[in-house]
Structure 1
Amino acid sequence: MRLSYENKLLAILALSFGFVFFDRLALSFLFPFMAAELRLTPAHLGMLASALALTWSLSGLGLGAWSDRRGVKKPMLVAAVLAFSLFSAASGLVAGFLSLLLFRALMGVAEGPVLPISQSLLAAASTPARRGFNMGIVNGSAPGLLGAVLGPPLLVALAETHGWRAAFYLSCLPGLLIAWLVWRHVREPAPAPMPAGRGGGFVSLLGERNILLCVLIACSYITWFIILISFTPTFLIQVKGMSPQAMGAVMSSLGFAWVAWGALVPAISDRIGRKPAMVGFSLIAACCPLVLLNVDRMAWLLPLVFLSYTGLGCFTLFMATIPAETVSPRRIATALGMIMGVGELAGGFVAPTVAGFAADRYGLSIVMWIAMAGALLPALLSLGLRETAPLRLKPSGAVPEADRAPT
């Protein structure tokens, strides 16, 4: 059976962004194998994560906007996939912290534009009724599956059998294949005209209420994600007294929830609307840190963690779907790059350091309360969003700007 272009594009872009997170999280899984040889400490790990988040955010801001202005998507995506694959492999060549820091920072530069460009391509090719589902597969399920479910056992097995350097070297091979798939099968969309009377810059985008709210939501929600993914393993072992095996089971539950809710939340939003989905699932996501704080029995902890880790599905809505349905096609990559970039600066670069200092002073449990606030604030901000889901707007005759024929 021959795939439609929409489904073919969905599969290729899901592989692309999923592999971004495979590479981004690889350092966390391989760090225990590297630390003694390179004389690395947990402080070095924090700096490496912050450096990648910083360059990722700045690159997403700048290159996403550049791709809109120049109308060039496909070549930039090919170059980005090739570059981050090679920089990830180069991590296996390092002799110490500074060279590793350089390669991780360069990897962030290459990875920054992948999401805004991918989602702008997908927005142009998606059927309006399944736009949220498509974007959820790329933004949520694919990185969860490749980065959080398949990545840890595969990378650890490679490190144990062939060494951590070989694990980095081999990690570049899928990227080379994905770059070829993008070049061979992805179409460069026709440039959309800039709407009359509107600039394409960041300031004009912030004049759109939905875009401003999505920027604020991103700052808070990325804080929720980064703090949970970074501090939960240590919290479970040091505060809850879990064994490494039990901690691994909880983290696997988070990974499977990332995959499931990454697709389900956007798909549900296609039916009930973006705004109610953002409010409801953000309130559920705020419960996940409370579950980790208060539930001790594994028989209850694992299913409750899975059921409450819904925030990665909301990421697709505020970081891709709502902006794509709010602005014109010509400005989608710019809007997505800005939301992701500012959110990464606040939640990926600043928040982990603040949470770490707070944990040193008040104990590790404080990070769970910070994470809870990181999901609760987006639930409140989402009350101000204007609805953009095509099926919810049909009765009133309103059409998202992304679905209007260019004039």
Structure 2
Amino acid sequence: MEQTLQTSKMVTEKASPLSRRVTWYIFGVMFSINLLNYLDRYIFSSIANTVAKELHFGLDGIGFIASAFLIVYTVFTLPLGFLADNLSKKRMIAFCTILWSISTVFSALANNFLSLFCTRMLLGIGEAGYYPAGTALLSQHFPSSQWGKVLSWWNVGTTVGLMTGFILGGMIVSTFPHGWRLAFLFSSIPGLLLGFLVWKFPTKDTETQKVSLNRQLLKQASIETIKRIHQLLHIRSFVMLTAMQVFAFFFLGVTVTFMPTYLQQKDAFHLDAGTAGLYAGLMVVVAGVAGTVLGGILADSWQKRFAGAHILICGAGFLLGALFFAIAMLSSSFLLFSIFLFLTLFCVNLYNGPAAAATQQIVSPAMRSSALALSLVLAHFFGDAFAPSIIGIVTKYIDPTHGQHFILNSAGQDLRLSLLAFCPIALFIAGSLGIWGTRFAAVDQENVALPAN
């Protein structure tokens, strides 16, 4: 116990010297960008049932488009994360925010599957650099004793953004002819303003050396990348956290992609697009925000007594989520489905703040963006990058008419079988890895506090 408390004191870091008002202004802008990040990312899920029928593709096409974004996002996260450790974090965030907003404008102009596929790939490039740089920027301006709460509240923006995307997309599609184009346009405008505000942040990056992009920098960055990957993969709790998120991301990727479409199928609950978006959005925000905030509070409280508290919260939430999701998908009653889906989302979202905080605790300040980037790359590539495509292909294979069920809006049973076959197992494995990973946390945190030889 004493060793754990001593370690916590040793790794505690001070915040940047900016005033409290400026610090919370920075947090407010970053929260808004995080909200917009997930709004732009998941507005497609709420309108996919309509877009697919208008542009003539099926459930496998929905999966391919979702995977296109995730694969590109995965590929670019690591190099952009490493660049954020060596260049200006605020400028990286500003550039990425403006880029993904422009890509969303082009999504509104898509006239076939291929053009929409390409614009969603561009969205992946823009969003790839934001999360690692954003996490490091917030960690720079708040003391380490507050990271769990701050990062949990920041991650509330992801939940609210996902909710807004679901509700906004569904309502616009239900109200206007070709409303999905208007939905994309509406969600793209705020990013341009927020990108400008970040560029003007009254702060300077610390713990980095600003250099110009030239051949020598690229060579040094390549060498540094290899060294950092080697170092990070030798941190046992980092490996367990990343492996845990691989399976958690599989679940999250397929459920947010297909849940609004599932709710609209005649042989599921036959909701219209607006109602499905509103239902899914409110379910996500109420359960997700409650789980995210409680996860951060519990983890920070328990961390004072147990070094692995952040990882433990993640694992326990995933194990409970596996059970609740299986019950939800087996329920023919809409009431029972709603109760257990709520419990699933609540438990799964306990991980948001604690996972990010745990990663920050076990690496040195100069490697925080890199650690988040590498963790995200591995979790996305092996977790959710191909998950929507897998579910889309399997669902079409299960359909004896090879896609006619979806055209007739009757693919609910096909989707249910696919989700049941993969999602509870993925969450169970994620939870087990989280519980196992707690045993390494204290040693890894202590290693960060030790002076370099």
* TM bracket, shorter-chain basis: 0.7 to 0.9
Q: Which residue of 2 aligns with 1:342?
A: 378
Letter in 2 for 1:313: L
Deviation by residue 1:77-106 (Cα, 9 ceiling, x = unmatched): 100000001111111222322222221111
Deviation by residue 1:125-156 (Cα, 9 ceiling, x = unmatched): 223232112112223x11111222x2233234
Q: Which residue of 2 aligns with 1:353?
A: 389
Q: Which residue of 2 aligns with 1:113?
A: 129
Q: CA 1:404–1:304 in 2, change beyond 3 Å: closer, same or farther?
A: farther
2-structure distance, mates of 1:31, 1:234: 7
1:60 and 2:68 are equivalent in the alignment: no
Letter in 1 for 2:80: L
Superposition deviation, residue 119 in structure 1: 0.5
Is the 8 Å Cα contact of residues 71 and 191 (structure 1) preserved in structure 2?
no
Q: CA 1:293–1:29 in 2, change beyond 3 Å: closer, same or farther?
A: closer
Letter in 1 for 2:427: A
2-structure distance, mates of 1:405, 1:5: 32
2-structure distance, mates of 1:233, 1:155: 11
1-structure distance, mates of 2:225, 2:199: 32
Q: Which residue of 2 aligns with 1:145?
A: 160
1-structure distance, mates of 2:447, 2:197: 31
Superposition deviation, residue 386 in structure 1: 4.6
Superposition deviation, residue 203 in structure 1: 2.0
Deviation by residue 1:298-327 (Cα, 9 ceiling, x = unmatched): 444323322231213314333x21111110
Q: Which residue of 2 aligns with 1:204?
A: 231
Is the 8 Å Cα contact of residues 21 and 147 (structure 1) preserved in structure 2?
yes
1-structure distance, mates of 2:440, 2:151: 14
Moved more, 329-338 or 227-236: 227-236
Superposition deviation, residue 341 in structure 1: 1.3
Q: Which has the larger radius of gyration?
A: 2
Superposition deviation, residue 261 in structure 1: 1.4
Q: Which residue of 1 aligns with 2:103?
A: 87
2-structure distance, mates of 1:358, 1:44: 12
| Pairing partner for 1:326 from 362, 371, 377 | 362
Q: Which residue of 1 aligns with 2:144?
A: 128
1:293 and 2:309 are equivalent in the alignment: no
Q: CA 1:199–1:10 in 2, change beyond 3 Å: closer, same or farther?
A: same
2-structure distance, mates of 1:71, 1:404: 26
- Percent of aligned pairs with the same amino acid: 20
2-structure distance, mates of 1:358, 1:166: 31
2-structure distance, mates of 1:352, 1:180: 33
Is the 8 Å Cα contact of residues 246 and 430 (structure 2) preserved in structure 1?
no
Letter in 1 for 2:167: P
Q: CA 1:239–1:280 in 2, change beyond 3 Å: closer, same or farther?
A: farther
Q: Which residue of 2 aligns with 1:377?
A: 429
Which residues of structure 2 form unaligned runs of 5+? 1-18, 210-223, 303-308, 400-413
User: How large is the RMSD of aligned CA atoms in angstroms?
Assistant: 3.1
Is the 8 Å Cα contact of residues 63 and 390 (structure 2) preserved in structure 1?
no
Deviation by residue 1:193-228 (Cα, 9 ceiling, x = unmatched): 9xxx99752122101112111221121110111122
Is the 8 Å Cα contact of residues 262 and 313 (structure 1) preserved in structure 2?
yes
Deviation by residue 1:28-81 (Cα, 9 ceiling, x = unmatched): 22334444543343332221111100010111111101221x242111110000
Q: CA 1:42–1:297 in 2, change beyond 3 Å: closer, same or farther?
A: closer
Q: TM-score, normalised by structure 2?
A: 0.77
Q: CA 1:388–1:208 in 2, change beyond 3 Å: closer, same or farther?
A: closer
2-structure distance, mates of 1:400, 1:8: 34
Is the 8 Å Cα contact of residues 358 and 367 (structure 1) preserved in structure 2?
no
Superposition deviation, residue 236 in structure 1: 5.1
| Pairing partner for 1:259 from 277, 280, 289 | 289
Moved more, 71-80 or 223-232: 223-232
2-structure distance, mates of 1:146, 1:122: 19
1-structure distance, mates of 2:334, 2:176: 31
2-structure distance, mates of 1:165, 1:248: 16
Which residues of structure 1 form unaligned runs of 5+? none
2-structure distance, mates of 1:356, 1:297: 25
Q: Aligned pair count?
A: 392
Q: Which residue of 1 aligns with 2:7?
A: none
1:314 and 2:351 are equivalent in the alignment: yes
Q: TM-score, normalised by structure 1?
A: 0.85
Is the 8 Å Cα contact of residues 43 and 165 (structure 2) preserved in structure 1?
yes
1:171 aligns to what SS in structure 2?
helix
2-structure distance, mates of 1:214, 1:239: 39
Alignment map for 1:18-57 (pairs within 5 Å): 18-57=35-74
Superposition deviation, residue 351 in structure 1: 2.5
Is the 8 Å Cα contact of residues 107 and 120 (structure 2) preserved in structure 1?
yes
Q: Which residue of 1 aligns with 2:249?
A: 222
Q: Which residue of 2 aligns with 1:175?
A: 191
